[in-house]
Amino acid sequence: MREVAEYFIENRDLTKEEFRELIGCAEDPETVRELANEAVRIRKQYYGDGVYTRGLIEFTNYCRNDCYYCGIRRGNLRARRYRLTKEEILECCAGGYELGFRTFVLQGGEDRWFTDERTADIIRAIRSGYPDCAITLSMGERSYECYRMWKEAGADRYLLRHETADEAHYGMLHPSEMSLAVRKMCLYDLKLLGYQVGAGFMVGSPGQTADCMAEDLVFLKELQPHMVGIGPFIPHHDTAFAKEPAGSVELTLFLLSVIRILLPKVLLPATTALGTLDQKGREKGLAAGANVLMPNLSPLKNRKQYELYDNKICTGEEAAEGLKSLKKRVEQAGFRLVTGRGDAV
């Protein structure tokens, strides 16, 4: 094993330059193995063999942003847009509850039809209907006041990937009206308000270098999020990045291990994007240190429309079917699905 990896396992922290060197070890099989072993050991220590599940409700694919990598960006006129009604969202929750989900993730594009107040009303309805469930929001950038209103309405957690912590790289992925500074401010606002916060980034997005990823790790260490979502970049045919190569599954797995060691108690999903590039991607994610899965609870009729990238999996099966086969696969991989809110330890 490379020296920098040994040092990392011992100290669970590195400088940016050392992180860059560590990322260079992703090509070294022995180092990859040792880091995965350490990540699994740490995950076991805090979470045993339990894997948490979250019911994902993709409730709108309208978006005011024009992120170059994303299939539901504003500028994609070919995307067929939809938004669920409050009643449909509550039906998704009811179906999910029946299946055993105790966390609902409301994820959508930045859709201003869902005003601060309208959204708060939906959160209150879920909160009063499901007092034993956690409510996670993933709705992008809003004001401090808005985040506060939603927290008071009953939201517990917020997912907002920073996408890349490198200024110049952020500028390559987003139009100039978006900024890394605002994204970071939102994350700190959310923390201040007492949300469990999730950040994260894509692996292998166009223009990403080892230096960018080292910056991502430095930022994660500083932010100390409760959750980190990472998955490989996958091109979408109606974006400027249609012809770009997808990110690497191996590098994603390596980074999952690194993040588990860096933030031992973190909630770390094996993402749909990972499962899309590799049939066994999510199982491999668990074996690299991940401990969360996020099956889809969205209505079947809309699933294909929430197309962030090409060939996204789990757009055809029913939630119940999906969960059954997922449970089996998780158990075959040596873990067990846990019902319950699944808060960070």
Q: Are 238 and 76 in contact (CB under 8 A)?
A: yes
Residue 141 touching ligand 5AD (CB under 6 A): no
Nearest to 308 by CA among 317, 292, 296, 318: 296
CB of 163 to ligand 5AD, least distance (A): 6
Per-residue mark of binding to ligand 5AD, 52-81 (x: CB under 6 A):
-----------------xx-----------
Angle at 279 between CA 276 and CA 281, to 5 degrees: 75
The neighbour count for residue 125, using CB atoms within 10 Å, is 17
Displacement of CA 10 from its chain's centroid (Å): 27
Torsion of CA 295, 297, 301, 302, to 10 degrees: -80
Residue 269 touching ligand 5AD (CB under 6 A): no
CB of 231 to ligand 5AD, least distance (A): 6
The neighbour count for residue 115, using CB atoms within 10 Å, is 11
| The binder of ligand 5AD chosen from 169, 183, 236, 284 (CB under 6 A) | 236
Return the number of the residue (38 or 216) whose C-beta is nearest ligand 5AD: 216
Q: Which stretch binds ligand 5AD (CB under 6 A): 82-90, 165-173, 231-239, 320-328?
A: 231-239
CB of 176 to ligand 5AD, least distance (A): 19
Locate 332 and state its tokens.
Answer: 């075959």
| The binder of ligand 5AD chosen from 277, 309, 330, 335 (CB under 6 A) | 309
Return the number of the residue (161 or 284) whose C-beta is nearest ligand 5AD: 161
Distance CA 119, CA 86 (A): 9
Which residues, in sequence order, are bridge partners of residue 269? 292
From the CA atom positions of the chain, what is the Rg in Å?
19
Residue 163 touching ligand 5AD (CB under 6 A): yes
Locate 259 and state its tokens.
Answer: 């993040």
Return the number of the residue (202 or 262) whose C-beta is nearest ligand 5AD: 202
Return the number of the residue (104 or 233) whose C-beta is nearest ligand 5AD: 233
Residue 244 touching ligand 5AD (CB under 6 A): no
CB of 286 to ligand 5AD, least distance (A): 19
Residues in the interface with ligand 5AD (CB under 6 A) total 12
Q: Which stretch binds ligand 5AD (CB under 6 A): 124-132, 190-198, 226-234, 324-332?
A: 226-234
Q: Are 220 and 192 in contact (CB under 8 A)?
A: no
Return the number of the residue (76 or 196) whose C-beta is nearest ligand 5AD: 76
Q: Which stretch binds ligand 5AD (CB under 6 A): 13-21, 31-39, 230-238, 324-332?
A: 230-238
Residue 202 touching ligand 5AD (CB under 6 A): yes
Nearest to 285 by CA among 1, 9, 51, 106: 51
Task: Give one DSSP letter per residue of 244-258, joined into a string.
Answer: SPPPPHHHHHHHHHH
Angle at 264 between CA 207 and CA 164, to 5 degrees: 15
Q: Where on the chain is the footprint of ligand 5AD (CB under 6 A)?
A: 69-70, 161, 163, 202, 231, 233-234, 236, 273, 308-309
